[in-house]
Chains A and B, each alone.
Chain A
């Protein structure tokens, strides 16, 4: 596939922080590890040969612990950080070849970003914050305020237009951040740990809202998080990052069911697998006698668990409502128990 078939395409992107990154890059290429490079040259490897293909219209989550390079990664997409080596294509155009004016046009029209610490302008009201991107683009005052008001309503902050950001709670402030990014009407939205600073309940509400928005607007969302549960909940695809390198990339259930290495297994052990695994990935396809209870194929294991109190199996239907297979209690238990500590030995 060509570069323009993907929303975002990164090829062999490497970032080394330090005074002479090329020397460190050569060492890294010759096979030395991140720790060795750091010990010998005092250069920090931020990203190590990262290649990602992100298709349009999906929520792509990059998951990693602090220091894994995930925030560095997302900043390469809109070139807040320049890579040491590699190529980045967004909607088919080479981001690294852009001149400064081109880069500004690109940031104004193609990628918008939401930040962990919100990054709101404290001296401007909510509506002026939301309209900020439009103002930068040169949209007239009446039009930008009208568009900003619409997005404020979409994120559920009507009535707060004239408030100052500091008068809002963390969740509300991040809604302003989200509305500000949405107001630019870009195809791609970058979210850097956007919900990490929020309380769990508010975070969950924001996740639901983001998924709904994505469904109705069809945006490509690159989402960074350190929270595996969050990744499993919202992601169409997940890439797990460690020490600046991609460890595994795939659908959420692929990662839960077939973790590529020890590091990812550790994450998997801690999560609620019943939420991560869709019934379609573990069901038996084929003709079975119609069952009293059925669930759609995009249901998750946690949705079918209650039925097993009464039944041995539950039917699975496709989008039209036709039964296409079934899922048994045994299969669900096998999927959930697979990677619990001790159970996967031998």
Chain B
């Protein structure tokens, strides 16, 4: 063994990395080479120091707080997915059930309303009156019918039962704003009317109070 070989493997003499023959060759070389012997001594001293350092850290472990943080992260990573997925499924079912209930109730309501004599009587009247534009004719129908509302131009026919009825005192000219014809001579007169207002707040029909004077003046 020469000095170069000794430097490469001779320092492993204290380990199990080289064979016994290599260890013997290294020992032989160190016995005749002062420089390599000094190197071996120096390394042994260093190895001794290293072993102290290795011993000091041999049983080192990550602090317990690391595990706690990791478990917290694991929970936050995994649980929301499960919760969100469950919540999504439940919400979807709830929504579907609600939609089905609303559909059934609406259909039954429509069926029951369509079958009542009052509905049969009122709805066609309104529809007929709506179809009988121009507006002047509609006013006449309402007047003749007495208890029915005269649909306003452009209003959809609705039943008086589904809307709200307001008794309003207004100037006759205000009927013009609702699209009804007004006699200009009596435009400043005050009249009492019933206003049929749909659920969305839009006026749908008007009914003049049973007052011969009002009818006369309207016409």
Are A and B genuine complex partners?
A: no
